[in-house]
Amino acid sequence: MGQLEGKSAVILGAASPGNMGQVIARLFAAEGAKVMVAGRKQTPLADIAAEIGGEYALCDITSHAEVNALADKARDAFGRVDIAINTTGWGLLANTLEITQEQLDQITDLQFKGVHHFAQAFVRVMSEQQPTGGSIISLSSATTKALINNHMAYIASKRAGEAMMECVANDFGHLGIKANSVSPAFTESPMTSESFQVPGLVDAFVPRYPLGRLNTSEDVANACLWLSTDHAFVTGQNIQPNGGLTLRGNPQARDIEAAVGAAMAKLQEG
């Protein structure tokens, strides 16, 4: 029997092939959960839902109405929602002095208001499920503990999301609702594929991980799996499945420039 047998899960942010949301969806389905994937693109959602024998729904996390409709749809489809995971995010790389008001509005809508919509909608649904409640997880980032340059708006809004999970844990634990954050570090995915092609960039990061490698999407999915089981007597926490990066901290801009520069020089010599 799978670790999530008999449970239902909603995973928002699973609308790109191979992204972290889809990796989590595949694992949860393999562990016995009934899964509804959600996001903004119908074709990849329909494809992953068909693959795992689940459901899908269109949802933009920046829309209060759409997130609430997602929560209702999942409850109606499955009878209850045991697990709700938000994997959305935007790795905005922008100098503090150059970030535009449009960018600031976009990241606030996604990573501040959106997380609030998500928490509010699924607390509402899970509050009806007495006495067992449910588990809410929002993906954050190791950068909130291991700062990196030119990410102020990103880091600040991710920290706000962590605070929201703490508040949900504190306010609704008596209803059996757990709420936690999970914080990946620099992870190879469709969203970061271009970065991984930059010579020397990964070399700047790897020495910062005590366990000797970057975390994978599977590492993050397994952390979400554990938090979603009845074995995890954990709430209001920020879980770091990133190989100890926060012990040493991310490389800074000068470190990255040096590593990329050295790699480029070797390529030119060759």
- In this prediction, residue 193 carries a pLDDT of 60
In this predicted structure, the answer to whether residue 268 has a pLDDT above a threshold of 90 is: no
* Distance in angstroms (rounded) separating the CA atoms of residues 5 and 2: 5
Mean pLDDT is lowest, of 1-10, 62-71, 195-204, for 195-204
Return the CATH number at 138.
3.40.50.720
pLDDT tens readout for residues 184-196: 999 877 666 666 6
Judged by phi (left if over 0) then psi (alpha if -120 to 50, else beta), residue 245 lies in alpha
pLDDT tens readout for residues 188-244: 776 666 666 778 788 999 999 999 999 999 999 999 999 999 999 999 999 999 999
Domain count, the chain: 1
Tokens of 122: 């699924």
201 lies in a domain? no
Place of tokens 């970065």: 195
264 lies in a domain? no
206 lies in a domain? no
Q: Is 180 helix (H, G, I), strand (E, B) or coil?
A: strand
Alpha-carbon distances of 193 from 19, 20, 179, 189, 198, rounded to whole Å: 11, 13, 30, 6, 9
- In this prediction, residue 270 carries a pLDDT of 64
- In this prediction, residue 100 carries a pLDDT of 97
Look at the chain and count its residues.
270
163 lies in a domain? yes
269 lies in a domain? no
Element (H, E) at 49: helix 42-52
209 lies in a domain? no
- In this prediction, residue 167 carries a pLDDT of 98
Domain that holds residue 55: 8-191+215-246
Going by the DSSP 8-state scheme, the letter that residue 85 receives in this structure is E
210 lies in a domain? no
- Whole-model pTM: value is 0.94
255 lies in a domain? no
